[in-house]
Amino acid sequence: MSRRNQTLGEFIIENQSSFKYTSGELSRLINSIRLAAKVVNHEVNKAGLVDILGAAGDTNVQGEDQQKLDVYANEKFIQTMTNRNIVCGIASEEEDDFISINSQDENHQNKYVVLIDPLDGSSNIDVNVSVGTIFSVYRRVTPVGTPVKIEDFLQKGINQVAAGYIIYGTSTMLVYTTGDGVNGFTLNPAIGSYYLSHPNMKFPENGQIYSVNEGNYIHFPKGIKDYIKYCQMEEGDRPYTSRYIGSLVSDFHRNMIKGGIYMYPKSSKASNGKLRLLYECNPMAFLAEQANGKASDGFNRIMEIEPTELHQRVPFICGSKNMVEKAEEFMRNAE
């Protein structure tokens, strides 16, 4: 039973028995993500001070050179999951290849792999706008105890056992699903605990916000152009409002709460769009579906796409169910 004043720690313990394969391993994994997120949050919050704090010689207290925040976030998440012996493999936007983690302890061989976008919306850092972290969790398909292989990562989104994001916004939140709905926890920075602030999150079936980089309009396929015109038409509850932050996590989060659609379509410049299937689109698609929303590449369900490459891109349309279905209708009609 979830309670509003429940901490994330309490929530994880109380819900552990409802996981399909319960061994505590997934709970430990979520725990390590919430810990790394706190460290990254601290760093994100003082991003504007880096030049001032670094003025003494551009090194931090550990004597390390100041780093770009996405590299820092990448290291923190990987370190936390590696040091605590939590997963057997990690793939990250910031790493060309996946990382295999060999457990030294034979009694403690992990079965989960994590795929992560350590800092999403990184271009927003310099201008003090919300950024995020996205993660996706699978059970490995190769035998436990052996080094992980590429096929452990190239799994369809429908195989995900957990997915979520952290949003470093006006407040910091961790929002995740283990396949039993979506719950959102807000960090109380004074205490360092996350509290269940948004239980059982759901996309409204209809929305009035559309989020797309309209600067690329001229390069979009006809179906998307037609749908954008439809959003702007004066009829019924339209024209819709246009809102685009430029960090998927923030745009998704707002649309889930208020009702809306996010689109990063293919264009004449980028035949598969920009977003990455494995650590951006699939986790967001899992969250969307768990919250009554929908995620599509314009024609197919995102989570049923067979991945072929770690860093593969895919056109992405995601949000309130009826809005995504309408956009798909425009895509079909423009074929």
**Cβ 263 to ligand AHG, closest distance in Å?**
10
Out of 31, 86, 112, 120, name the contact with Mn ion by CB under 5 A: 120
Q: Is 57 exposed, middle or buried (0-12, 13-18, 19+ CB in 10 A)?
A: exposed
**How many C-alpha atoms does 273 have within 13 Å on its Cβ side?**
23
d(CA 271, CA 301): 18
Strands (E), 22-87: none
DSSP three-state, residue 335? coil
Out of 120, 152, 297, 328, name the contact with ligand AHG by CB under 6 A: 120
> Quick one: what does residue 319 bind among Mn ion, ligand AHG, none, with the CB cut-off 5 to 8 Å set by partner type?
none
Q: Closer CB to Mn ion, residue 120 or residue 328? A: 120
DSSP three-state, residue 176? strand
- Binding of residue 93 to Mn ion (CB under 5 A): yes
Strands (E), 150-246: 162-168, 172-177, 182-188, 193-198, 209-211, 241-242
Strands 241-242 and 209-211: parallel
Out of 16, 159, 213, 292, name the contact with ligand AHG by CB under 6 A: 213
Out of 90, 92, 117, 136, name the contact with Mn ion by CB under 5 A: 117
Cα 64 to Cα 54, 58, 59, 67: the distances in Å are: 11, 8, 5, 8
Cα 329 to Cα 67, 140, 223, 323, 334: the distances in Å are: 45, 36, 8, 10, 9
Q: Closer CB to Mn ion, residue 117 or residue 289? A: 117
**Cβ 89 to ligand AHG, closest distance in Å?**
20
Which window, 95-103, 120-128, 194-202, 216-224, contacts Mn ion (CB under 5 A)? 120-128
Out of 76, 253, 266, 274, name the contact with ligand AHG by CB under 6 A: 274
- Binding of residue 273 to ligand AHG (CB under 6 A): no
Q: Closer CB to ligand AHG, residue 32 or residue 247? A: 247
| x-or-dash string of contact with ligand AHG, 58-87, rule CB under 6 A | ------------------------------
- Binding of residue 247 to ligand AHG (CB under 6 A): yes
**Cβ 297 to ligand AHG, closest distance in Å?**
16
Which residues would be at the binding site for ligand AHG (CB under 6 A)?
Answer: 93, 117, 120-122, 213, 246-248, 274
